Amino acid sequence: MRVPGWLDDTRTSYDTVAVSYADLLRDAIADEPFQRGILALFAELVRAQGNGPVADIGCGPGRITAHLHDIGLDAFGVDLSPAMIGVARQDHPGLRFEVGSMTALELADGCLTGLLAWFSLIHIPDDEVPTVFAEFFRVLRPGGALLLGFHAGEGSRLKTEGYGGHPMNVYVHRRSPNRVATWLDASGFTVEAEMSHRQAPSVRGGFVFARR
């Protein structure tokens, strides 16, 4: 589906909820053993390529960036929302965070050993996904590891409120791991694994590992 103005709407929505979002999810990874295991596997794949810079694209308040750093990766974060980056810098002053869009990353070609997009693709319309994946391919070095996490399923819904009741105006897109893998294949990646996690009876996460 086409979503006019989605980039500005996403930025404004997450600027609005940044502080509440950070407060609600700051320690959530401690209660997510499956997610920690998936991130540990990603870290192992990065180390197998000699380590090197890892970008957490759509990092929000930096909680996953910090976790990657804690498990030994040279991680930094990029997010569309200046308010989210402000919270990330406040919460994790020793780490690097930058404002930027995954549709046009201000990163050099082949500069990354790893790239993570952890539930940050969920607002990207279908017709923009190839642009985003082309950017991911460009900034990863040959052999570099890619991990995508997203809401699994089908269909899209408009989210008008979230994270403490603040107003939002973003579409949330659900996709199957197979569909995401097909897009990655078309973008030149080598897909290595497709996974799903049933966090609750009606809540599913999808994860795809790929290599540049």
Backbone angles phi, psi at 121, to 5 degrees: -85, -5
The Cα–Cα gap between 203 and 29 comes to: 16
pLDDT at 49: 95
pLDDT tens per residue across span 118-144: 999 999 999 999 999 999 999 999 999
What pLDDT sits at residue 2? 60
Q: How far apart are CA 196 and CA 199, in angstroms?
A: 9
What percent of the chain is modeled with pLDDT above 70? 98
CB-based contacts of 76, cutoff 8 Å, min separation 6: 53, 54, 55, 56, 65, 95, 96, 97, 98
Nearest to 150 by CA among 83, 203, 74, 191: 203
Average pLDDT value for the chain: 94
Which residues are CB-contacts of 117 (< 8 A; sequence separation ≥ 6)?
A: 57, 58, 102, 136, 147, 148, 149
CA 172 to chain centre: 14
Predicted TM-score (pTM) of the model is 0.94
For residue 4 the two structure tokens come to 């006019």
The residue ranking higher by pLDDT, 78 or 202, is 78
pLDDT at 193: 97
Domains and CATH numbers, the chain: 6-129+137-211 (3.40.50.150)
Model confidence pLDDT, tens digit, residues 58-86 = 999 999 999 999 999 999 999 999 999 99
Q: What is the pLDDT of residues 12-47, one digit of tens each?
A: 999 999 999 999 999 899 999 999 999 999 999 999
